[in-house]
Amino acid sequence: MDTYKGIWVFVETEQGYTQKVSYELISKGKALAEEKKCRMTAVVIGSDIDAVIGEAAAYGADQIIAVDAPVYEYYSTDGYAVTMTELIRKYRPETVLIGATDNGRDLAPRIACALQTGLTADCTGIGIDAKTGCIAWTRPTFGGNLMATIICPTERPQMGTVRPGVFATGLYEEEKKRKILEKEECEVELIREKARITERQIRTKLLKRIKEITETVELEGAEIIVAGGKGIGGEGGFSELRKFADSIGGVIACSRAVVEVGWLPQNYQVGQSGKTVSPRIYFAIGISGAVQHLAGIAGADTVIAVNTDPEAEIFKRADYGIVGDYKEILPILSEKIKKI
């Protein structure tokens, strides 16, 4: 157990685009590493990834391990799982953090199974257990009705996937990125590894990429969110919320109750069983304030609640609360905000 040291963050990238959760995890991984007095390493796998390597340095990685080859241009289960597994066996990190994205949720269990270690999936919190020194992974359980804290005391590495939007990104340092890209001396150690797999070893082949014609909702990175609950009275109420959101440069979202009755699809849901968000302003319109929903907005800077029930739990979390009918209040708020 003592031979495993350091915190690793898998930086997910494809065709030059990096998932924001990777930089959120670099920030959190660095904080954990400082507490455990070890090094935080960003692992970047892809094709033509020099810019991503610079970004990882700029967001605070102490060390970067990079695997750059055409075989990694697109994500594949075999290519990435084999490569990450071999790197972990070589360098023996104590902890590995992976974003709970579509690819991350596919990759992490493959690695954990190959290494015969534990994996805590879809975490909404990470800390260090005071008694054991193990990473304490927190995630929703029983359909989001309870929060479980899990440790992996007997196997290494400790592994977890973490939801996007749970942590803030660290301070960006342009000078670190410049030094890495211009190959100047830099305090960030860069290790370049060769490809660990060939095209022939990948059992699936990408035939064609088809752009999905569906509405995408980027709630995790939104600065202003206008969320509705069952208190808005019906599906038509979201037309009013959307008008209000458009007028102030926001996006709409909803509570679990709204998804359950079919007013909006699940990708709009905020909460333990939905998305975790950290906007500058979060409007909670007709939302009661169940603990599961509050867990999803823990990172919001300012919460403004509108509800007809003065006893609604949401007012305990709100920075500003307005008791009344949202149909009357939102037009007034919109005009006031426009003037400001």
Query: What pLDDT shows up at residue 79?
Result: 93
The 10 Å Cβ neighbour count of residue 234 is 9
Q: Are domains 7-201 and 224-339 of this chain identical in fold?
A: yes
The pLDDT-based confidence of 156 (bands split at 50, 70, 90) is very high
Mean pLDDT of 253-278: 87
Distance from chain centroid for Cα 53: 19
Query: What pLDDT shows up at residue 326?
Result: 92
The pLDDT-based confidence of 47 (bands split at 50, 70, 90) is very high
Query: What pLDDT shows up at residue 45?
Result: 96
Query: What pLDDT shows up at residue 308?
Result: 93
Please tell me the CATH code under which domain 7-201 is placed: 3.40.50.620
Query: What pLDDT shows up at residue 315?
Result: 94
Query: What pLDDT shows up at residue 216?
Result: 60
Mean pLDDT of 103-109: 95
- The answer to whether residues 107 and 84 touch, using CB atoms and an 8 Å cutoff, is yes
Query: What pLDDT shows up at residue 145?
Result: 65
Mean pLDDT of 307-317: 92
Looking at the predicted structure, is the pLDDT value of residue 155 above 60? yes
Q: Specify whether the backbone of 165 is left (phi greater than 0), alpha (psi in -120 to 50) or beta.
A: left
Mean pLDDT of 117-126: 92
Query: What pLDDT shows up at residue 266?
Result: 84
Query: What pLDDT shows up at residue 325?
Result: 92
Mean pLDDT of 21-37: 93
Query: What pLDDT shows up at residue 151?
Result: 92
- The answer to whether residues 199 and 256 touch, using CB atoms and an 8 Å cutoff, is no
Kindly report, residue by residue over 69-81, the tens digit of the pLDDT: 999 988 999 999 9
Question: Which residues, 6 or more positions from 7, have their beta carbon under 8 angstroms from its beta carbon?
Answer: 29, 30, 32, 33, 36, 38, 39, 40, 41, 93, 94, 95, 97
Mean pLDDT of 309-328: 93
Chain mean pLDDT for the chain = 89
Mean pLDDT of 8-28: 90
Kindly report, residue by residue over 201-248, the tens digit of the pLDDT: 899 888 887 765 555 667 877 899 999 999 998 888 888 899 899 888
pTM across the whole model: 0.74
| Helices 50-58, 20-36: inter-axial angle, 10-degree rounding | 50
Mean pLDDT of 265-280: 86
Position 201, amino acid: Q
Query: What pLDDT shows up at residue 282?
Result: 95
Give domain 224-339's CATH architecture.
Answer: 3-Layer(aba) Sandwich (3.40)
Query: What pLDDT shows up at residue 215?
Result: 55
Q: Using CA atoms of 151, 154, 159, 165 in order, give the dihedral in degrees to the nearest 10.
A: 10
Selected residue with higher pLDDT from 1 and 3: 3
Query: What pLDDT shows up at residue 234?
Result: 87
Query: What pLDDT shows up at residue 143?
Result: 62
Domain residue spans in the chain? 7-201, 224-339
The percentage of residues in the chain with a pLDDT greater than 90, rounded to a whole number, is 58
